Amino acid sequence: MIYSDRVLMHCLWPQNAYSMLDADAVGSYIEPSCEDALTFYIKIKDNCIQDISYLASGSCVSIATCSITSELAKGKCLDDALKITTEDIIEGLGGLPENKVHCSNLAVSALRNAINNYQRLTGTEDYYENSNTCR
């Protein structure tokens, strides 16, 4: 399998990979096809993602998708962060082999779960009903 330079960079030097103890919300997702698991932690200020981190258990590609997702989401308002798609992640990584595309779903689903949890906790119920539909 051949990976892009961006995938390899995010695999070897993942960004924002840590547990955030003072997170405003947490969202997790386990990909049933491969059992990779991910948890995103988000800190919100003025309805925007001020800080974001994650912990991942899975393949190098899953870690790379989490890393690029955290970069794409950081600084975005929640509505814009909810619009991040699997295609955005794949494009940000310079492509993924077909058998690894499901890894981008993992990252989008966990991010949306974290945002949805934040919105539920704060009573701003303007969230996607099915956060795991990532297209």
Q: Identify the domain containing residue 28 by its residue range.
A: 5-121
| Total domains in the fold of the chain | 1
pLDDT tens for each residue of 62-119: 999 999 999 999 999 999 999 999 999 999 999 998 888 878 889 999 999 999 999 9
> pTM (2 decimals)?
0.88
Q: Is residue 130 part of a domain?
A: no
* Secondary structure, 3-state, 107-130: HHHHHHHHHHHHHHHHCCCCCCCC
CATH number reported for the structural domain that contains residue 10 in this entry: 3.90.1010.10
Q: Give the separation between CA 76 and CA 11, rounded to whole angstroms.
A: 23
